[in-house]
Amino acid sequence: MTASLDGEIRDGRHQMRVRVYFEDTDSGQIVYHANFLRFMERGRTNYLRLLGKSQQELLREALKDAPGFAFVVRSMKIDFLKPAILDDLLDVVTVPQEVRGASISLLQECRRGDDLLVTAHVRVAFISGGKAQRIPKSLRLAMEGHT
């Protein structure tokens, strides 16, 4: 039921669609720049969710190693190339770049059809028990399969 809501993973890339609503814009015109970060977060979250579905065993292992884990954003380099406007249907693409000991780098894009609107390089760290931890091997393997 929620399949289309979460997007899909194809060829190691996660892709999902986001519709621009009034609340995302500056008075019905262009999307406020900070909102792209929220769209991209949805991409990362759903990428992880779908990884979990297709790699259920691996994720269960990760949870065992690191209960109550979460990812936190450590740094981002974002380029705002073109604006998005009210009613636009955007594609949010998420591609893992590098999985190192304690952090993951992702490339993310917001596209409208053929137009590339925003690109971001995002580094996330893995937190468990309130502290930075090494990425659990099982999770790393699941993502490395896509890099």
Partner 1 sequence: MALQRPNEIKLLEFCCDIVKPAFSGIVYHANYLRFMERGRTNHLRLMGAEQQALFAEAQAETPGFAFVVRSMQIDYFKPSRMDDVLEVVTWPVAVKGASITLAQEVRRGEDVLVRAQVRVAFISEGRAKPIPKTLRTLMKADLLS
Residues that bind partner 1 (CB under 8 A): 33-35, 37-38, 41, 70, 72-80
CB of 3 to partner 1, least distance (A): 26
CB of 89 to partner 1, least distance (A): 21
Half-sphere exposure of 122 (CA within 13 A, CB side): 23
> Rounded to whole angstroms, how far apart are CA atoms 65 and 62?
5
Active-site option among 11, 26, 65, 91? 26
In the complex with partner 1, which residue's Cβ is closer, 81 or 145? 81
Task: Look up 26 and say whether it is catalytic.
Answer: yes
In the complex with partner 1, which residue's Cβ is closer, 72 or 102? 72
In the complex with partner 1, which residue's Cβ is closer, 41 or 91? 41
> Rounded to whole angstroms, how far apart are CA atoms 50 and 64?
19
In the complex with partner 1, which residue's Cβ is closer, 49 or 74? 74
CB of 43 to partner 1, least distance (A): 13
In sequence order, what are the residues at sequence separation of 6 or more whose Cβ sits closer than 8 angstroms to the Cβ of residue 145?
12
Closest by CA to 25, choosing from 79, 71, 90, 94, is 90
> Rounded to whole angstroms, how far apart are CA atoms 82 and 61?
41
CB of 109 to partner 1, least distance (A): 14
DSSP 86: T
Chain centroid to CA 113: 19
Q: Which residues are catalytic?
A: 26
